[in-house]
Amino acid sequence: MYQPRLYRRDMNQDRFRFFPVSLHESDLLIGVPHAQFKQSMVETTLDELSRIRKILDGYMEENPSFGSSLDALPLPLHLSEIPEEVQTMFKCGLKTKTGPMSAVAGLFAERVGFRLVEEYELEELVVENGGDLYLKNSTQLTSVIHAGQSPLSDKMAFVIPEGNWGICTSSGTMGHSFSFGKADAVTVIGESTPLVDAWATALANEVKGPEDIEKTLDRINPISEILGCAIIAGGKIGIRGVFEVKLLS
């Protein structure tokens, strides 16, 4: 995913107390309710990042294609014997026809979120990992649709109801991640952060220009795990899904 943030530091400061945590390639921005913040959350986050990183590094050392393939890989014969995090990435890649690593940023964000919620009994939480979000919110919240230098960037926002959500974005015009497409932004919302991370990658690969927006959105209609999607390319935008969208001034 790319660096410009959906959940930027200048937003929701009254609702969340934000703090950064970085380890290797993971660069997280975490927001918790002000009254619930504890300094030990930083150490907890680092511990969880290290735990997942150790699992993935160990698996890739024995299975290099897991970390390098841009195409979906078949499930290992002894699936139950490999770590659950690795299983999740395999399954996300198969469902979206992308390499397993397409789900990695969303996986880190979600697992850190799960652990913080459990250990600190958090009512609300946002974990952003390079533009990909795990979100737990107890009341309505807005998520800005960011698309870098596009004139449509930050002009609209999804209205997110109470729940647990993954909100992930892929781009073919920003950042260092490889994409086959040319979309300024493809944002996908669903209940599984690693899965919508992989879907954002897959859909962004299909958008070569504004003429591809509608047909790509048409394709996601039967995909039940995609609850919302916005595509920005060439100065045009298309939006589908169950969420209200509002214009921003």
Evaluate whether 126 touches 143 at the Cβ level (below 8 Å). no
- Residue 8 in this model has a pLDDT that exceeds 50: no
With b for 16 or more beta-carbon neighbours within 10 A and e for fewer, the 170-198 pattern comes to bbbbbbebebebbbbbbbbbbebbbbbbb
| Across 36-45, 52-61, 73-82, least confident range | 73-82
Structure token pair of residue 182: 């040319």
Percent of the chain whose pLDDT exceeds 70: 92
- C-alpha 238/C-alpha 70 separation (Å) is 26
Helix (H) or strand (E) holding 143: strand 141-144
- C-alpha 158/C-alpha 141 separation (Å) is 8
- Residue 5 in this model has a pLDDT that exceeds 70: no
pLDDT value of residue 13: 78
- C-alpha 201/C-alpha 96 separation (Å) is 9
pLDDT value of residue 175: 52
pLDDT band at 4 (very low <50, low <70, confident <90, very high): very low
Helices (H), the chain: 40-62, 65-68, 84-96, 104-120, 193-206, 213-220
Domains of the chain: 17-247 (3.10.520.10)
pTM of the predicted structure, to 2 decimals: 0.92
169-180: average pLDDT: 68
pLDDT value of residue 177: 58
- Residue 162 in this model has a pLDDT that exceeds 60: yes
95-117: average pLDDT: 97
